[in-house]
Structures are given as structure tokens and as C-alpha cells.
Amino acid sequence: MSESRFAAHAGRPGARRRADAIRAAEARVAAMEGDYIAEADGLIDRLNTLAGEPAPDIDAIYREAATLRGLGGVFGYALVSDVAGSLCELADRLLAAAANDRPAILAHIQSLNLLHHRRVKGDGGSGEAELCEGLARLVARWPAATLP
């Protein structure tokens, strides 16, 4: 590709040092943790509401879970991202199978409630590991969607 304007400008001398820019950005992100907690509260509330519908909208559950997956790990809540990702995978498989599995969906959302409200950071302990393995078994009950 002929060099883009982005490439041409980014390579100019006088740049801020990479390490300084990353450190400053990490500090800005850390300062937003309270906002993340409020955002995750809302996402998990919406997941609870969606799962409580007589015919849960799996696609909407997928979207809310994907948003949550994209946030938790940024603030150190890696397990929230992992469980939200597991819920995405479950929803993807259910959509491909045109099926519903309310118990498995609820198990994921209850897990998110627990991990979020206890503010579990990092990888947690053996209880969290056992929980994640159990959720993975629930997802595995449904075949992975095939590649197109």
C-alpha cells in the first residue's frame, strides 16, 4: 500500500515515548473503574431482564454479553470478560441451532452477577475455576456453529 497519511505522520520525529503514552493511558483507564462498575451493572440488569422474557431474544443477549466481554478485562475483571464470552459462545451456538437453553443462559447470568457484585479481579480462585469449567460444559452441550 502506498504509505498512508497515518503512516507518514505517525513516523515523524518528536513523538511521545511509547512507554509514557501507554502508562498515561492506563492511568486514565484506571480512573474510569467506577464508571465501568455502573456500566456493567446496567448490562447485567439488561441480561437478567432479557433472560426473564417468556421467549428470550438470544440475539439481544448475545449483543449485551459481547459488550460486557469487551469491558471487564480492561479493568482487571478478566473473569467477567471470560464468562460474558462464554455466554456469547452459547448464544452463537443456540442461534445456529435455532434453539433455546434457558437454564444454561441463567447459569451464565447468575455467574456474572456473582463475579461482578463481589468484584472478583484476575483469575480468582479454585471456586471460580470450577464455575468456568462448569459453564464450558454447558456450552459444549450444543454443537459449535459450522463455518460458512
Residues in 44-83 at the binding interface with other proteins, rule: CB under 8 A: 62-63, 65-67, 69-74, 78, 81-82
Rounded Cα gap, residues 132 and 89, in angstroms: 13
- Binding string, 97-136, against other proteins, x = CB under 8 A? ------xx-xx--xx--xx--x-x-xxxxxxxxxxxxxx-
In whole angstroms, how close is the CB of 67 to other proteins at the nearest point?
5
Binding residues for other proteins, total number by CB under 8 A: 79
CA-to-CA distance for 111 and 79, rounded, in angstroms?
A: 10
Report how far residue 55's alpha carbon sits from residue 100's, in angstroms, rounded to the nearest whole number. Answer: 8
Residue 142 binding other proteins, by CB under 8 A: no
Binds other proteins by CB under 8 A, chosen from 17, 34, 54, 98? 17
Q: Which is nearer to other proteins, 44 or 132 (CB)?
A: 132
Alpha carbons 113 and 16: distance in angstroms, whole number: 41
Which of 52, 97, 99, 145 lies at the binding interface for other proteins (CB under 8 A)? Answer: 145
Grid coordinates 483469575 are at which residue?
A: 123
Residue 68: which of 57, 54, 53, 79 has the closest Cα? 79
| Distance from C-alpha of 121 to C-alpha of 76, rounded to nearest angstrom | 6
Does 34 sit near other proteins (CB under 8 A)?
no
